Structure formats: structure tokens, C-alpha cells
Amino acid sequence: KRWSTISLIDILKEADLQVGFSEKVNTVASRENIPKEKLQKRLLLSLYGIGSNTGLKRMSAANNDVNYSDLRYVKRKFINVANVRAAIAEVVNKIIEIRDLRIWGEATTSVACDSKKINAWDQNLIAEWHARYKGRGVMVYWHVELKSTCIYSQLKDCSSSEVGSMIKGIIDHDTDMDINRVFIDTHGQSVIGFAVSYLLHFALYPRLKAINKQKLYYVDSKDKNKYTNIAEILKGSIKWQLIEDNYDEMVKHMVALKLGIVTPSVLIKRFSNNNYAHPVYKALVELGKANKTIFLCQYLASEELRIEVNEGLNVVERLNSVMDFIFYGKLGQIATNNVEDQELSVLCLHLLQVCMVYINTLIIQSILSGSHWQNKFTPRDYRALTPLFSGHINPYGLFPLDFSKRLSIGLTI
């Protein structure tokens, strides 16, 4: 009743007025002459037009004091990948800061990762035909914490490694969140992924589809006879000497990852079956086998862990549907062949999502602070709360019907 209908652009505006993320969007020119109030309005209109995929021309048509050239200028001089990422981090950090622990619980350190295909023009090298989802397009990889805030997004092609994308998000996110657990789907994990997660000090928890085909490894070859009741799922022993001999080299590669000298996707491509003779690859495989065996034992023994993994990944699925709700323009297709513009579309979409979560968090906290709701929620009710709802949000424009106005087309004089 209090907030039955809110325009999506008003959510973006209110989030900026409270957080001030537009101050992170600085010009690439040598000087700036646009007054602050005008610049703020043009920035928000441009970010909304790109993030909702409706385009700058439609945004300028609805605002008499802004024309299409103004918005194009602002996009060219102010809106780039680095600036939008800084704005996103500002909003995410504010969400973490304002959360009421009595409602949302203790701060989470877990994220769930998954990708989503978006249709896009195919005249560049990043757009590909997707074998599973069908159709040409690009993939967007999300890192979403368990309270529905997307902390990192990245554009990638359909055939690129999800393991590399997962690692990149853990390393490159610029928010205040401290990540130590990662939930991921089956195709987002590998033996190398388990090795890297151990070396970078975060726990990798995949949802394994064909878990009946997974194999366990024992500590030493002498131990094989100890586990006669599970002999069918034992494959071999861990070669600890390989890990010890190449440990320094493995650490060097992890440092290169942290410093950005090498990208995770390049590292994953290098250490693949095509390079099986590389000693560091062999050591990473052995370390990954050991770490994956520990995870499988925990996953099979703990129903709570299996529930937690599925709950985390369900948050990402919910996020995907909300992203379709926001990115409605041009039937959800990225209508450009410029890779940088495609990435900007994804990042502006990400910015709209975190602004929605920010405002919805304030709405829920405002409602539940009333005396009427005191002591009425059970722990299960609180667990079901999510700031990722959109039933009260109108992403579209207003279309008044006025019979007193006519189009001067085909009218007899």
C-alpha cells in the first residue's frame, strides 16, 4: 500500500541521491563544463537507457530539456567500463553497510556463480552459437551473494571456461565483501578449479549433477585395502611428491593471478589436458584431486551442505529472471557489434539491479521496523525474505490517453 508502484528510473534516481554513485563517473576529457545538476540527470538517463536496453533516443524523447546529442556526448565522455564498475561497487558497499542484522542475519561471505545467455548481434568474435541454449549471443557471468546482491558481472563468449570466469570474479570484485565460499553449477568446476580455490583460500562447493560417476582418491597406495566397501569408487592415490616439488611454481602462478599479470581464462587454457606433460599442471591436478575428494566426502555426509548449495544457486536463477525484467528493450537483444558497448550494456544492467536491491532493502527494513511486525516473524520467515522482488516496479514509460489531441494525418480540412 505504501509503495504500490515505483518507476524503475525513480529507483535509479533515489539510489544515486542517497549513495552518490554518479560522482564515481568522471570524465575522460581534460575539463568538465556541464553544471552538476544537468550532468547528474544526463548520466542517470544514459545509464538507464543503456541498462534497460531502451536506448538513448527514447530516453531523450521523454525529457524536453535533454536531447539525443546531449546523451550521446555524456556516454562518450563519461560512461566507460571502469566508471560503471566503480559506481556498482559504491552501491554494493552501501547495501552491505545499511543491512539490519536482525532482519538479514549476519553478513554472508558466500557467493553463487552462474551464467546467462543474452542474444546479441553476431558480427564480432565474442558472439557465438550456444549449443545448449541455441541461438547466437554472448554469456554474462554473475557472482551473487546469498542476499541477492550481484557483486560482480562479466561478459564472455559462449565457449569460454566458466572456471576461469568464476576465479576472475573472486579476484577482481572491488567490493567490501570478503568471499570464502563459492557455490557453482556442475560445469563451473574442475580439478584445476579445486586446486586454485585451495591456493587462493576459498572453498569451492559445486552442485554435481552426475555425482554417481565421481571418483575418490586415497592418501597413499598402501591405504587401498582399508576401504574395501567403497573400492568401486576409488581411483588411485594422491602423488604428494609432485605437489611438494612444484609448490613454489604453483604459488608463483597464483601471485600472477592476483596481480593481474595473467588472466584466469588464460591460466585455465594453459593448464588443460592439451598440456598434460607440464609439471605444474600435474601438481595442480594432484592438489585438485585431494581437495575435491575432501569436498565429496563433506557433500555426501551433510544434507545441510547440499541444501545450502542448492539455495545459493537458486538465488542466481531468480536473478536471471529479474535481469530479463530489467533488460526488456529491443526484445532483450544487445543491438551492437561493438564489444565495449556490449560490456557497458551488461554493467549498466548490473547497476540497475543493485540499485533495485538497495531500495527494496530499505523498503523491507522500513516496513518491518513498525511495531505491528514485532515478534511475528519466525526464523524460517526471515530466511524467505529477499530484496529481489519486482512486483511493485514499473520499468516502462507512462502512456496517457488523451482524446482531445489528434495526429494531423489524413484529417479532412
Calpha distance 257→339 (Å, rounded): 24
How far the first Cα of the chain sits from its last, in Å, is 49
Where is 50: in which H helix or E strand? Answer: helix 36-51
**What pLDDT digit, counting tens, does each position of 64-73 carry?**
888 999 999 9
Whether residue 245 contacts residue 279, with contact meaning beta carbons closer than 8 Å, is answered with: yes
Q: For the residues of 188-210, what is the DSSP string, one character each?
A: G--HHHHHHHHHTT-EEEEE-TT
Residue stretches of the chain with pLDDT short of 50: none
pLDDT at 242: 93
Q: Which three cell numbers stand for residue 137?
A: 549471443
Cβ atoms of 46 and 385 closer than 8 Å: no
By CB neighbour count within 10 A (0-12 exposed, 13-18 middle, 19+ buried), where does 256 fall?
A: middle
Distance, in Å, from the CA atom of 89 to the CA atom of 243, rounded to the nearest integer, reads 37
Rounded-to-integer distance, Cα 146 and Cα 55, Å: 31
CA distances from 201 to 97, 153, 171, 182 (A): 25, 21, 11, 11
The position carrying cell 536482525 is 102
| CA 263/CA 236 separation, integer angstroms | 32
C-alpha cell at 297: 566426502
Q: Are 71 and 61 in contact (CB under 8 A)?
A: no
Cβ neighbours of residue 176 under 8 Å, at least 6 residues apart?
A: 92, 93, 96
Please provide the DSSP assignment of 330-355 as one string: GGG-B----HHHHHHHHHHHHHHHHH
Which pLDDT value is given to residue 398?
66
- Rounded distance, CA 158 to CA 94, Å? 33
User: Checking DSSP bridges between strand 216-218 and strand 181-185, what pairing results, if any?
Assistant: unpaired
Three-state secondary structure call for residue 234:
strand
Grid cell digits, residue 341: 558497448
φ, ψ dihedrals at 364, nearest 5°: -65, -45
The whole-model pTM stands at 0.91
DSSP single-letter state for residue 133: T
- Find out whether 88 and 354 touch, Cβ atoms under 8 Å: yes
For residue 43, the Cα-to-chain-centroid distance in whole angstroms is: 23
Q: Can you give the pLDDT at residue 20? A: 94
d(CA 83, CA 22): 9
Output the pLDDT for position 131: 79
* CA-CA-CA-CA dihedral for 170, 176, 177, 179, to nearest 10: 40
